[in-house]
Amino acid sequence: MTDRRTFLRRTLLALGGATLAGCDRISESETGTKVLASAEAVTRRVQRFLSPSTALAKEFTEADISPVFKPNGSTMPDTPAYQALLRDGFSGYRLEVDGMVERPARLSLEELKSLGTRTQITRHDCVEGWSAIGKWTGTPLAALLDHVGPKEGARYVVFHCFDNIEEDTPYYESIDLVEARHPQTLLAYALNGAPLPVANGAPLRLRVERQLGYKHAKYLRRIELVASFAEVGEGNGGYWEDNGYEWYAGI
């Protein structure tokens, strides 16, 4: 099995390099766009084979925690709704959960915490090339899903955020239900034993430990379950995906 996985990893790397070398020409045609989308789907399936749904991201010790956990992306949302919550110390914060669910909900942080808690020390890998190790505490997303009950046909979890990356362009992200139910996928409200700092996503952020940093949406406002994300944003599953990043960012 080890030799087989090594072969598959090397094959994927070779195919990825070939794709990148010709991507400018390929992406200029409608057919090329479909080919690239298909290739990403194949890559995602192979990555899932190499790292099955039960595989855990590496966890570390207290001694490994980085002195500073560098924030990525937005560090202070300037939207009126967020600023009002910040002035009130997030006491009025409610996480909305809707879409294809049996029991839509609006949960305070305390109500969210009552569903369950998990603490893990993991490494955050940014697409920009840096990494940091932090201790995260939060509610497993699987516990929230059990609370609201996904309807038949729901396939993806979309995270709508308070921050605008561009004017009138709210940040959003998405993962599938397999990743959402992974035991290390958290709705985190604490970092290194303290309430989540604003720069790192207060009051609540996503931790999806088997994927790159841009998938870890911060400043969560609303969670929506959908059958397809084609009608969300520009239809690619996330803000950065709408700007050319891959939807599945497995590491």
The answer to whether 249 touches 193, Cβ cutoff 8 Å, is no
The answer to whether 169 touches 103, Cβ cutoff 8 Å, is no
Predicted local confidence at residue 51, as pLDDT: 53
Per-residue pLDDT of the chain (251 residues; tens, 9 = 90+): 333 333 333 343 333 333 333 333 333 334 334 434 444 455 455 545 545 567 999 999 999 999 999 998 899 999 999 999 999 999 999 999 999 999 999 999 999 999 999 999 999 999 999 999 999 999 999 999 999 999 999 999 999 999 998 888 999 999 999 999 999 999 999 999 999 999 999 999 999 999 999 999 999 999 999 999 999 999 999 999 999 999 999 98
Phi/psi at 124 (nearest 5 deg)? Answer: -95, 120
Sign of the four-CA dihedral 69, 73, 75, 77: negative
The answer to whether 72 touches 213, Cβ cutoff 8 Å, is yes
**pLDDT tens-digit series, residues 16-58:** 333 333 333 333 334 334 434 444 455 455 545 545 567 999 9
236: amino acid identity, one letter? N
**pLDDT tens-digit series, residues 95-106:** 999 999 999 999
Length of the chain: 251
Predicted local confidence at residue 251, as pLDDT: 86
Sign of the four-CA dihedral 110, 115, 116, 120: negative
The answer to whether 53 touches 184, Cβ cutoff 8 Å, is no
Spatial distance between the Cα atoms of 42 and 147, rounded to a whole number of angstroms: 32
| Bridge partners for 185 per DSSP | 208
